[in-house]
Amino acid sequence: MSGSLKRLSITGRNGVGLSATWQAEIASYYGICVSGFPNFFMLLGPNTGLGHNSVVIMIEAQVTYIMSCLRFMRRKRLKTIDVKHDIQTTFYRHIQERLKPTVWQSGGCRSWYQDEKGRNVAIWPGFTFDYRWQTRSVTPSDYFVTRN
């Protein structure tokens, strides 16, 4: 998942690569967008894996969200859309807090769900219907945009 994305050559604003950005921590916004990488959308990004349900539900929700972003861009005649860093950071911290008491993070076990620093970068810490609800549409204020 996120490990394979780290190996791809994906370049964001100011020529910074995704692998360099993820050296400090593998973070994203809903596992779909990464701050500093305008118009970059991914499926099954960080913290969208499941250990309890069908990942197809997550993929469908992500496609719905990406289509919402693209429709928003077309409607507003935007050139780029880029999630704000503070929005992504708040989201990431919330996810990490929700993961702390889960079986995937607590108890001292190491697994492939965790990065080399012990942070869970793989699992979504809630119900799939919550994820679907949260990603049903784009929140324009979460993004920096540029016009055509």
Q: For the chain, what are the domain ranges? A: 2-147
C-alpha to C-alpha distance for 72 and 69, rounded to whole angstroms = 5
- pLDDT tens-digit profile of 101-129? 988 787 777 777 888 888 889 999 999 99
What is the CATH T-level fold of the domain 2-147, as seen in this structure? FAD/NAD(P)-binding domain (3.50.50)
- pLDDT tens-digit profile of 7-59? 678 999 989 999 889 988 899 999 999 999 999 999 999 999 998 889 999 99
In degrees, rounded to 5, the angle at the alpha carbon of residue 85 between the alpha carbons of residues 83 and 91 is: 85
pTM: 0.91
**Contacts with 142 (C-beta within 8 Å, 6 or more apart), sequence order:** 29, 83, 84, 87
Confidence of residue 94 (pLDDT cuts 50, 70, 90): very high
- Which helix (H) or strand (E) is 143 found in, with range? strand 143-147
C-alpha to C-alpha distance for 113 and 109, rounded to whole angstroms = 10
